Amino acid sequence: MRFHHAPLRSLSILLFAVAVVAACVGQSASTESTRQELPGALFGLREMDFHLHSGMERPVDLASWIDLAVADGRKVFLLLDHIELYRKTPQDYEDWRAKGGFQARYPLGAAGHQALFADFDSLSQRKDILVFKGWEIGERELDEGLETAPMRLAEVIGWHIGPNHGGEPPNGQSLLRRVRQIKEVQKQFPVPMIVFHPFPMRYENLWRAAQKSGREIHSIPVEEYRFFRAGEQEELIKLLKGTSIYIEMSRDTEQYFDEPACRAALIADLAPLAQAGVQFTISTDNHHLRAANKSFAPERYCEPAGITPANTNGLVRELLALRARRALGEAGRGSQKK
């Protein structure tokens, strides 16, 4: 498949994106002028990874896996695994593990959940990183039912939005539906939750469909890439206001950002959310050594859409506050026993 850029089309797309960002910046000028942050109070984008697979699919021992990320600048982690992996049968697990060449080995079921989180807890002794722990759960489990016991171990739960190949790609209506469902789940599990990679999954669906039909990627217009339709951004902003639900900006975005129409659509979809105060998370979503050995540069695709340290550090602050409250509660219970 050939990729050719049409200069005039690329210029019009660029002007469209610039207009969107300019409008958002103009609307928020008075707000930005009064915002202040202490020097050094925020973690940089590349210092955070709120989606690092560190369980059954881990290619090396846990300490080495973390060291690779630290060497590239990471300081704050959400370590997690796919919850459904622990439902495999013993034979399926052995076959899958051998095929993947994974170094990690965990028991299945509840014993595996406990062993995984014990490994994550062991990293608390390190002074160079901040580690939180959680699960990645497929979005369809919001429809089909949840495995609640392991969810109680998590400090954060991330919901995997899939590309839905062969069907309608993720869009504004599907995201609104999932956010409403997540808000209901939070009534039972009052922990921060993240919507994982909704935008790249739309692009993946569109590219896969184009490749299957023999269509040129460059023929996909901005309008087809657009995630939201009229009124959906405003509705999402209202749903997310005052919640502990975050939208992920994953490294998967990187591969689509070079396509001018996709880049313009992403900026148009995200800039109004950022301007309105929606909170985001930054992640690599790394599974493999090849990705772990590649330098992480989220600024490239985050900053043009208005996603900065100011609107990506909220989850760090919230998790630290929750830990502090738990510690105070435990200390209070201990003093009462005396």
For the chain, what are the domain ranges?
44-337
Rounded distance, CA 177 to CA 230, Å?
Answer: 16
Q: Rounded CA gap, 60 and 58, in Å?
A: 6
Q: What is the pLDDT of residue 9?
A: 47
- Other CB atoms within 10 Å distance of the CB of residue 236: 21
Q: Please give the distance of CA 160 from its chain centroid, rounded to a whole number.
A: 9
Q: Which amino acid is at 216?
A: E
pLDDT one-digit tens code per residue, 74-127: 999 999 999 999 999 999 999 999 999 999 999 999 999 999 999 999 999 999
Is the sign of the CA dihedral 186, 80, 201, 76 positive or negative? positive
d(CA 33, CA 29): 6
Answer whether 223's CB lies under 8 Å from 268's CB. Answer: no
- How far is the C-alpha of 189 from the C-alpha of 148, rounded, in Å? 9
- CB neighbour list of residue 189: distance below 8 Å, 6 or more residues apart: 148, 151, 152, 154, 157
Ranges of residues in the chain whose predicted pLDDT is under 70: 1-39, 330-338
Question: 133's torsion region: left (phi>0), alpha (psi -120 to 50) or beta?
Answer: beta
* Per-residue pLDDT at 40: 76
- Say which amino acid occupies 155: E
Let me know: does 113 contact 86? Beta carbons within 8 Å. yes
19 close to 46: Cβ distance less than 8 angstroms: no
Strands 245-250, 280-283: pairing is: parallel
Bridge partners of 53?
80
CA–CA gap between residue 246 and residue 158 (Å, rounded): 9
Distances in Å between the alpha carbon of 119 and those of 52, 80, 114, 115, 193? Answer: 14, 11, 9, 6, 22
**In the sheet that 156-160 helps form, which strands lie side by side, from edge to edge?**
48-53, 76-82, 130-138, 156-160, 193-196, 245-250, 280-283
Largest CA distance in the chain: 76
CATH of domain 44-337: 3.20.20.140
